[in-house]
Structure 1
Amino acid sequence: MTEQRSTQHASWLVRADRALGGALNRFTLPSTHAFVIAEGRGSRVYDVDGRAYIDYVLGSGPLLLGHAHPAVVEAVCRQASRGSTFYWLNEPIIQLAEVLIEAVPCAERVKFVSTGTEATMHAIRIARAYTGRARILKFEGGFHGVHDYALQSAVSPTVADYPAPRADAAGIPEPVSETVLVSQWNDLALTEQLICAYADELAAVICEPLQRALPPEPGFLEGLRALTARYGIVLIFDEIVTGFRLAYGGAQERYGVVPDLATFGKALGGGYPIAAIAGRAELMELTDPRRRARGLPEAHLSGTFNGNPIAAAAGLATLQVLRQPGVYDQLYRVTDRLTSGLRALAAERRLPLQVIGEGPLFQVVFAERPPRNYADIVASDRERARRFGLACLEQGLFVVPGEKYYVSLAHTDADVDETLAAFARALDVITAQPAG
């Protein structure tokens, strides 16, 4: 980093390395750039030395309103004084379910869990219980959490041998991988070929309707909807990222395609751990525990913190803000200033830089043309993207190098101006370095 760390900060990093292996999740920073966060306010985080970063990680997406939004803080404090968890029906979670049903086109009934991983896992289980089939089809590069069925050709450094996936983690049994087929995003012909060949075995097709930051090409989601309907396959939209971000009703509102099931998280909780599975009543009925007493099959769904009232209160406060007029216009406007400004800066320097995404999230890819699938991402100059991210950190922007940038309502025009100046300096740094 350009600024020397204090002894206190260095001590925190040593303690983190000893106790946590240096990281909470799969993303790490080199020792020259690692830092420990003390607090977040609005669009910024502050490390233990007090250095400020404009935050484009936003907790990996949940903080669509920014850090410590007053409405969320008030709602959480109010609910905390009334009780932190009940493992039972409670007022905030019933209200949140009703709001979801009103907002989301596919939602006739809702169940809550704590994480996106749980949500996609249960959605797949529901689809299997409903169809009586075992296999699922996902798309290469689509990320659906970290359970065994999701970590299949999601983050592989190499392209899959379609339709066989590559397990992305040690410890995943081979028979699990054999229940997963993988296709290529935006390739409707290949996907149709696979669905037709395996229709009798497929319980579900699961996708991020905006895959990471790769938009669906015209007709692609509509084609998935038609194919799955034709063969009685459950279509699952993983809207953990896109839900309440691309539009109030999520990607299904934005793109006009309605799935059978959808999963939600991140922005839904306003920074608190909550996720949801929503969908058609006849599918969601399979999670009703009263079925067992009637001798009917049940897609078991339970968890100690399911329906947590504090997370629900945070979600209700967040969604109330997102329902206000002009909110999404603001999110799109600020993001458009960032992305168009970055493209212009790259063009001035004759850099092969693409900015992809939709709504208040984007990703920087170093390639001659915009990528349309994961294979194109793999073929891009990912090392240069990583170096650009590190240079952004040096300029006071909190980003995960090579990954998505999230934008919040807390980001101001002044933040955009400061960010574009930081982008310019970061681009100058990598321009002086050889391409990867």
Structure 2
Amino acid sequence: MDIAKRGKGNPMRASATAKEGSNALGRGGNISPTEQALFDDAARFFPGGALGGNALAADARFVFDRGDGSRFWDASGNEYIDYVLCSGAMFLGHAHPAIQKAVADQVSRGTHAFAYLNETAIRLARRVMPHIRCAERIRFTTAGSDSTFHAIRLARAFTGREKILKFEGAYHGVHDYAQLSTAPKVSGNFPHGVPDTAGIPAGVQDLMLVAPFNDPETLASILAEHHQDIAAIIIEPIQRILHPKPGFLQAVRELTAKYGIVMILDEVVTGFRYGIGGAQGYFDVVPDLATYGKIIGGGLPVGAVAGRKDIMDQADPTNKGKPGYVYQNGTLQGHMLGCAASLATMDVLEQPGVYDNVFAMADKLREGLQKVFDRHNLGILVFGEGPMWHMLFTDKVPQDWREVIATDTKRMATFEAELLRQGLFILPNNRRFISIRHTQDDLEQTFEAADRAARIFKR
């Protein structure tokens, strides 16, 4: 297949700027003057020349220009197959026509109306709540971090307790309460956490407890000692690259119910990815609160907190000034463009066969990559379940964070950089995603690119 003829926009842009004899995918050393100027400006404008907390190696970085489906092009015209997908937000792929139309139609009617009622937000609530098993009430936010922050506040107010328990290696956003033991390089002693960033007050650290994922016995021991102080347990049903052991999520549910602790299921990643009912349907677990972001926004900044009405109704604004009222607000909550994109996303995901197809494609991806790596005797294990996939230098699927960091992560980082140079965009040292628009052609070219990367890596 001629890669230059794929997609919309300017179909000849990639081939027009690619080097003579270079691979169809990847940078191949090609950086245009336009992209270099953008790099130079970014270095002057942004800390570390980056928009956020992630940066790529200097010889593998790029400036995103446009995307279509499962692929995107950088400012030099180089083409990539995307397995990052905006950290999983682009489950429908880039520039999905249904989302384009929905957003364009909404723009003509208005973009936002502050955090007051608007028709689009109400329609979205009506649409998503039947799919969220715990949802008796819902409140829209602007991102997953926003959602987890507000869920924690609601839980503290509801229980009258202050401490929160999370699991080592879990990511729940960027706020202070989340940035404890998210990716510790040095393990702490449970239940004490390790700050992931400077600037977190010691008092916040004292309010957070940490337990090992997939270890219900240790969790039960911690709760037996500290339950009277714990307002909530917040848990990712699939913690980055760690899948729960059978019964683990149910054990967390039972323990939280036993001690009157609020269970917050962080579905920012899993929500609407593992079926229309997310992890609650996939794993058959019903929390007290659930948090959302990524897919629910259709690529625009929409998140949500959903859950029991007795907890959620603490945020009823008619109760301002009364004991027990919980303030929850944001200028861009219920943003009409985002809600329009969300409704279009639901239109697509509710179509028959969507999830069967993406699950099958992900299985083929994992199987094909494993064959490539085994052929080169790299010692890499490809694993995962559903529309996420992972790989490590290991011979067994890890069960907790400490088993992840016990693998050769530095060597993996080197290999991942080569994969990127070959045109496969993956999130370094983290989960990878697949969209509903990845095709068999994408997979075949992925295997070819992985083979090239493996040959270079072995030199």
TM-score (norm 1): 0.97
Residue 71 (structure 2) pairs with residue 40 (structure 1) = no
CA distance in 2, matches of 1:380, 1:412: 31
Question: Which amino acid is the alignment partner of residue 189 of structure 2?
Answer: D
CA distance in 2, matches of 1:129, 1:235: 14
Q: Please list the CA deviations of residues 115-140 of structure 1 after superposition, one character each: whole Å capped at 9, or x if unmatched.
A: 11110000000000000000010000
For these two proteins, the number of residue pairs brought into alignment is 431
Decide whether the 8 Å contact of 1:384 with 1:430 is kept in 2: no
CA distance in 2, matches of 1:91, 1:357: 39
2:348 is matched with 321
2:57 is matched with 30
Decide whether the 8 Å contact of 2:159 with 2:261 is kept in 1: yes
Displacement after TM superposition at 1:256 (Å): 0.4
Displacement after TM superposition at 1:388 (Å): 1.8
Residue 198 (structure 2) pairs with residue 167 (structure 1) = no
Residue 29 (structure 2) pairs with residue 11 (structure 1) = no
Q: Please list the CA deviations of residues 178-197 of structure 1 after superposition, one character each: whole Å capped at 9, or x if unmatched.
A: 00000000011101101111
- Give 3-state SS (helix, strand or coil) of 1:272's partner: coil
Residue 195 (structure 2) pairs with residue 145 (structure 1) = no
1:89 is matched with 117
CA distance in 2, matches of 1:182, 1:248: 30
Residue among 389, 394, 398 paired with 1:362? 389
Residue 233 (structure 2) pairs with residue 202 (structure 1) = no
Question: Which amino acid is the alignment partner of residue 124 of structure 1?
Answer: I
Decide whether the 8 Å contact of 1:213 with 1:358 is kept in 2: no
Decide whether the 8 Å contact of 2:30 with 2:76 is kept in 1: no
Residue 298 (structure 2) pairs with residue 298 (structure 1) = no
Structure 1's unaligned 5+ residue stretches are none
Decide whether the 8 Å contact of 2:30 with 2:78 is kept in 1: no
CA distance in 2, matches of 1:98, 1:356: 36
- Give 3-state SS (helix, strand or coil) of 1:333's partner: helix
Residue among 438, 443, 446 paired with 1:419? 446
Question: Which amino acid is the alignment partner of residue 91 of structure 2?
Answer: L
CA distance in 1, matches of 2:276, 2:185: 34
Structure 2's unaligned 5+ residue stretches are 1-26
Q: Please list the CA deviations of residues 322-353 of structure 1 after superposition, one character each: whole Å capped at 9, or x if unmatched.
A: 01000001110111111111112222223321
CA RMSD of aligned residues (A): 1.1
Decide whether the 8 Å contact of 1:140 with 1:160 is kept in 2: no
Question: Which amino acid is the alignment partner of residue 250 of structure 1?
Answer: G
- Give 3-state SS (helix, strand or coil) of 1:59's partner: coil
Question: Which amino acid is the alignment partner of residue 136 of structure 2?
Answer: E
Displacement after TM superposition at 1:96 (Å): 0.9
Question: Which amino acid is the alignment partner of residue 4 of structure 1?
Answer: N
Q: Please list the CA deviations of residues 11-61 of structure 1 after superposition, one character each: whole Å capped at 9, or x if unmatched.
A: 111111111131112111121111111111111111111111111111111
Residue among 136, 151, 156 paired with 2:184? 156
Question: Which amino acid is the alignment partner of residue 214 of structure 1?
Answer: L
Decide whether the 8 Å contact of 1:246 with 1:358 is kept in 2: no
Decide whether the 8 Å contact of 2:81 with 2:425 is kept in 1: yes
Q: Which moved more, 1:396-405 or 1:306-315?
A: 396-405
1:51 is matched with 78
Displacement after TM superposition at 1:213 (Å): 1.7
User: What are the within-5 Å matches in structure 2 for residues 379-418 of structure 1?
Assistant: 379-418=406-445
Decide whether the 8 Å contact of 1:214 with 1:356 is kept in 2: no
Decide whether the 8 Å contact of 1:362 with 1:404 is kept in 2: yes
CA distance in 2, matches of 1:384, 1:335: 25
CA distance in 2, matches of 1:406, 1:155: 20
CA distance in 2, matches of 1:408, 1:92: 25
CA distance in 1, matches of 2:170, 2:353: 31
CA distance in 1, matches of 2:31, 2:378: 33
- Give 3-state SS (helix, strand or coil) of 1:46's partner: strand
Question: Which amino acid is the alignment partner of residue 303 of structure 2?
Answer: A
Residue among 373, 376, 380 paired with 2:403? 376
Q: Please list the CA deviations of residues 122-174 of structure 1 after superposition, one character each: whole Å capped at 9, or x if unmatched.
A: 00000000000000100000000010000000022122211100011100001
Q: Please list the CA deviations of residues 371-426 of structure 1 after superposition, one character each: whole Å capped at 9, or x if unmatched.
A: 11100111111112211211111111122222221111111110011111111222
Residue among 290, 305, 310 paired with 1:277? 305
User: What are the within-5 Å matches in structure 2 for residues 74-223 of structure 1?
Assistant: 74-87=101-114, 88-223=116-251
- Give 3-state SS (helix, strand or coil) of 1:243's partner: coil
Decide whether the 8 Å contact of 2:379 with 2:395 is kept in 1: yes
Decide whether the 8 Å contact of 2:150 with 2:328 is kept in 1: yes
CA distance in 2, matches of 1:291, 1:358: 44
Question: Which amino acid is the alignment partner of residue 207 of structure 2?
Answer: T
CA distance in 1, matches of 2:164, 2:425: 36
Decide whether the 8 Å contact of 1:38 with 1:47 is kept in 2: yes
TM-score (norm 2): 0.92
Identity of aligned residues (%): 42
Question: Which amino acid is the alignment partner of residue 271 of structure 1?
Answer: G
